[in-house]
Amino acid sequence: MINKFKSKLEELERRKKEVQPKIEELNIKKEEEIAEVNKKYDHLIYEINYEVEKFENDINNEMIDSFVKIVMKEFDAKRSTSEYTVTDEFREYKDLMAQFKMFPKELFDKLHQVINGSPIENIAYDLEKIEKNYKKS
């Protein structure tokens, strides 16, 4: 009886070894087909999302452009007068931009710092770097 079980267990191991290459081949084929399907659907999803992402990037870039514009306007206002105080337009801009979640918090904080007495030059001299970091293509 023990010999019979040993024989059957040996047969089982032999069969497992026989089917293993076939299983591996099927797994490789399965992965290739899954990759192909994923590629197809990734492309379709990209096409659907492209316009929305482009629109979102455009809005973001417009916000950054408005930031640059208000900073430069404030910088020019400071240079044109000996008695500089933060303009109402600058304060209003900061308050309005606070309601947009898309507007970068770091830029909002920079606006707030200027209102609290930090020199506008701290931002104005970094505008090119700010545009590079925050604009999306």
Domain housing 60: 2-134
Average pLDDT of every residue of the chain = 92
For the chain, what is the domain count? 1
For CA atoms 19, 20, 23, 25, give the dihedral sign.
negative
Residues whose CB is less than 8 angstroms from the CB of residue 77 and which lie 6 or more positions away in sequence, other chains included? 84, 87
Question: For the segment 112-136, what is each residue's pLDDT rounded down to a tens digit?
Answer: 999 998 999 989 999 999 999 999 9
Q: Is the pTM of this model over 0.75?
A: no
pLDDT value, residue 85: 86
Instruction: Place 79 in a pLDDT band, splitting at 50, 70 and 90.
Output: confident
Neighbours of 99 (CB within 10 A): 7
Question: For the segment 27-52, what is each residue's pLDDT rounded down to a tens digit?
Answer: 999 999 999 999 999 999 999 999 99
